[in-house]
Amino acid sequence: MPLPKRRHSKQRGRKRRTHWKLEAPNLVVCPQCKTLKHPHQICQVCGFYKDRVVVEIKVKKDKKKKE
């Protein structure tokens, strides 16, 4: 297994790592509820995809205290 003859400088290693960066996810506006969502995905808020309901979103009911 070959080994490097000399040590790489910090600058050289950092230059190589300049392309290791995170990208922000692309977000689009849902045409139904106007919230941000990922493109080509079902909206998590309203359940629409391409102007039709694909998933029925269940609404959680709050438990009321009995007095």
pLDDT tens by residue, 1-53:
888 899 999 999 999 999 999 999 899 999 999 999 999 999 999 999 988 88
Question: Which is more confidently placed, 67 or 24?
Answer: 24
Which residue type sits at 19? H
Using CA atoms, how far apart are residues 64 and 49, in angstroms rounded to an integer? 34
By CB atoms closer than 10 A (0-12, 13-18, 19+), residue 43 is: buried
- pTM score, two decimals? 0.55
In this structure, what DSSP letter does residue 5 have? Answer: S
Higher pLDDT, 45 or 58: 45
